[in-house]
Structure 1
Amino acid sequence: MTAADDLAAAVDLAVATIRGAGPERYTDSTPCSDYTVADVVNHLAFGFLLAHHAATREPWPESWAATDRAPFLRDLPEAEWAEAAAKEGAAAAAAWADPAVWEGESHLGGGPMPAAAIGAMMTGEFVVHSWDLATATGQELAVPPALGEVTLEAMSGMAAMGRDAGWIGPEVAVAEDRPAFERALGVAGRDPARTT
């Protein structure tokens, strides 16, 4: 599989968990500290939009703040969030399908970064937050071993920066003989044994 295939698989996983997290669960807590289910759905939706713009190299509008509601969800009732997120996720995956998009530099709203690093980071983010949603809402999450390895590599590459910035918690110890995805969760500050 290519990096683009991995990103598309991560988007598909995230969309499936968003669809499985009905609006009646949106006020529930999640493993993602201080985030409700609605917050994680919004975070993934915004992530799809940011990934899309990173692929196309379009600048972010000045009115965007990653802590806000995703612009395309702002005026929608929560019952329509899943389909709107699915549409934006598909657009992001399609934009990253072009191998040329992975070359050179792009951005995530700040300074320039290698596009390949952004693509890998977003892949890992989508998979880990899919676990957050699945765990919070009682869904089964099947992460293929290869995608687990990609997620572990992505999380390992960004964990120190995320901890310094306060958006990744302390690492949770996970045995080296556990599957790569469980170890990725530990690196991302999650306890893979958590069930709610």
Structure 2
Amino acid sequence: MDTNAVKKTYGIGELLGVARERAVPVVRGIADTALGAATPCAEYDVRGLVNHLFQVVEQFQRLAAKEPSDFGEAAADRVGEGPDWRERFVVEADRLVSAWSAAGAEDGVTGAMGMPARLVGSMALLDLTVHVWDLARATGQEYGEADGAVVEELTGAVAQLAPTARKMGVFGEPVAVAEGASAFERLLAGTGRDPRWV
């Protein structure tokens, strides 16, 4: 093995594509009867978390294009707009991947706080990974381990975001994990989730 090999740096669009592949089956697998179930993200039931995830994938498309976004208002009830909401989520997730794969999406800064664009893209990746894990757990679906490159990107992003995110109530306090916990379990715990939530 060549220990001098250059480590590949993945674009946010590539990583979002990987996360999207994990997200779509989970969203499609949510039964209507599960929409009122609790999730590991305590402030949301399944329906509320799906609506929040719609808001994320829509607003972060705008941020990729350096356009203004609006997270100030409560998420619209996309689930209540008709029975095809699962396939509409797939369309919006595809648009999110395309937006962050476009030339220049990761360059400069974006958003009202003028944050580095790549870090903002990592925030979209975090939601598309962790909230989908939330939904899988809440609805009895398998998720398993997230992709290693995704976890690596998010571990760095969470380390940067955590102090402010905890003050704002976006992340909970870190949860203790077993010594042999995986990198993904440690990532979940760093956002305030119990990786063994049932």
TM-score band, normalised by the shorter chain?
A: 0.7 to 0.9
Asked if 1:3 corresponds to 2:12, the answer is yes
**1:68-87 map, 5 Å:** 68-69=75-76, 73=78, 76-77=81-82, 79-87=83-91
Conserved? CA contact 1:46–1:69, under 8 Å: yes
| Percent identity of equivalent pairs | 32
Q: Which structure has the bigger radius of gyration?
A: 2
Conserved? CA contact 1:46–1:66, under 8 Å: no
Q: 1:127 to 1:74 in 2, by over 3 A?
A: closer
Query: For each residue in 1:135-174, what CA deviation from the matched residue of structure 2 results, as whole angstroms up to 9, or x when unmatched?
Result: 0001111322222222222222212211100121111012
Conserved? CA contact 2:11–2:101, under 8 Å: no
Which sections of structure 1, spanning at least 5 residues, go unmatched?
Answer: none
The letter of the residue matching 2:113 is G
**1:59-70 map, 5 Å:** 59-60=68-69, 65-69=72-76
SS in 1 for 2:110: strand
The letter of the residue matching 2:162 is A
Count the aligned residue pairs.
188
Candidates 77, 86, 101, aligned match of 2:105: 101
The letter of the residue matching 1:76 is E
Query: For each residue in 1:37-73, what CA deviation from the matched residue of structure 2 results, as whole angstroms up to 9, or x when unmatched?
Result: 0111111111101110001122236xx6342316xx2
Conserved? CA contact 1:124–1:150, under 8 Å: no
Query: For each residue in 1:110-131, what CA deviation from the matched residue of structure 2 results, as whole angstroms up to 9, or x when unmatched?
Result: 2322111101111112111011
Between Structure 1 and Structure 2, the one with more helix by share is: 1
Query: For each residue in 1:72-101, what CA deviation from the matched residue of structure 2 results, as whole angstroms up to 9, or x when unmatched?
Result: x27612x22211111111011101112421
**Which residue pairs with 2:183 in the alignment?**
180
Q: Report the aligned-residue RMSD.
A: 1.9
Over 4 Å off, 4+ runs: none
Question: If the length of structure 1 is used for normalisation, what is the TM-score?
Answer: 0.87
Q: 1:74 to 1:16 in 2, by over 3 A?
A: closer
